[in-house]
Structure 1
Amino acid sequence: MDKNILIMSKFPHRVVEHFDETFNTFKLYEETDKQKYLKEVSPIIDGIAVMGPTVVSAEIISSLPKLKIIGNFGVGFDAIDVKKASDANVKVTNTPDVLNDEVADTAVALTLSVYRQIIEANKFLLNRLWLKSEFPLSRKFSGTKFGILGMGRIGKAIAKRMEAFDCDISYHSRNRKDVKYKYFSSLENLAENVDTLCIITPGGEETKHLVNKSILEKLGKNGVLINIARGSVVDQKALIEALKAGVISGAGLDVFDNEPNVPNDLIELENVVLLPHVGSATIETRYEMGKMVYDNIVAFFSNKKLLSPVN
């Protein structure tokens, strides 16, 4: 297919091979001087393949006169200026569904790790402290009240898993969903009535700092916060202060503000479990996500229906 695709981020190797076999590819992620390279190839680029959080700004979109499609790797697409893309008649796609299980599994892992202090227990054994004393008792998770902020595809997958732990599941989203779980019309009420608040809602300006000091206070001193959505949804400064002061009990975080720069004030806390944004990071799922980016771009240039259009 005689189309020129700009691969802005480092995709799984097998996915890059698919692109190389089908298109003329230009790998921005391999270049040292990315701005210079982008300027050189800008007149010929027909499509973009990109992984978040690589930014596709209005300026970049404007600089590519032949651009017709942006294939985004991931469900969230807040790093892409979708409005500018729409104005320029550029299609944007994402990769829903294929990562639901992995992200939901990560939510479970984070939750159990916080409640049962799995990471601390591992350190305790490795440092041979078990030879001197018993590891302190942790908290029971089964049967607790589990709240979900965002009852989309992944939220439903998380809820399904939490049923196995006999959790009392409730949720808040912009609209009531066709699910059996209890609905709270306000996030404040949800936080006040659960032991765990799990965030799986889109990022962007609409949800920025949705979980703030007030919500953390409602969650309370025995409450646990789990975030596998976007770092921007939580007021990170307020969270650090709440964790230090015992306003909430603990947190499990896979996402942060300004990734990969995680503040020392957060890293140094003992009541957190921190992951480097690996919610969907398995070999199998990352391949499927990349393949979906590829399939969307192939479909577009073959004049076929897109698998997962955003705009």
Structure 2
Amino acid sequence: MLHSVAVPLIDDFAMFEFGVVCEVFGLDRSYAGLAPFDFRVCAIEPGTPLANPTGASIIAPFGLEAMEDADLIAVPAARIRDEYPEELLEALRRADARGALLLSVCSGAFVLGAAGLLDGRDVTTHWRYADALARRFPQARVNPDVLFVDDGNLITSAGTSAGIDASLHLVRRELGSDFANTIARNMVVPPQRDGGQRQYIERPVSDCTDDMLSELLDDLSEHLDEAHTVSGLASRVHMSTRSFSRRFVAETGISPMQWLTRQRILHARLLLETTDLTIDEIAVRCGFGSATLFRHHFDQEVGVAPTRYRRSFTRSPQPA
């Protein structure tokens, strides 16, 4: 069970990647019905300011002893260097030896590699550093394309927002979909992109500032099971098909049918996670019509088959 999280920091750590693990694991969300994690930011010399490239500094209140019984060790990105503090590497080895969960964000994978924890494992990092990681740790199986890799007790992620995806994946895997979805909802991020998605995939922002289109999108979200056409949607807002399509792309970054497909996939993911509906039933409820068409779009968007997704993310009990 995932209750306690330790985050070891060293000089030149990356503020955003540190913020990712703080946001997912460090905030008290008891107001949303979630039990808070025992969250510990630690360093070799607690109480001593640690610098980062922004010019700001952080003071870690805990020493590395806080890692000794933590369920999860989350290693944020930091400047890649030839050598890392041996005290930290030893603490990471002890954590791995006792079966703790290990999570790295972006270049944090190099820290785990320096501790010898990537050998024989499937891993990833930011695409800019993937070749360097593979050269430095030739026994690691580096996948430069994916957002994150789940290799048992070791989860490594690519840069920036992929750390959010990996963290939510870990929460979902250990504590269930409800827990992860609540965190995501309060962070105002999608519940999760699948790890198999490519790092370069474009995810246009879908927020809509046009009141007329916003009302239409809200209505569509409530009627995903119904058939929709671009011309039919255009007529509902009293626009020509061409003008409507142009306005829609300008507001959301994607075409009307792309937007509708993605909303249907998001709904399908929720149904796969939280219900016992068959694939055929989910296909109908989400507006795909047939299981074949549903499987095609789901695999294209998420990167895995619906049945495999369900096996990975079926709701599990929350901690007491």
> What's the TM-score once normalised by structure 2's chain length?
0.31
Pick the structure with more helix per residue: 2
Q: Which has the higher contact order (CA 8 A, sep 6+)?
A: 1
> What's the TM-score once normalised by structure 1's chain length?
0.32
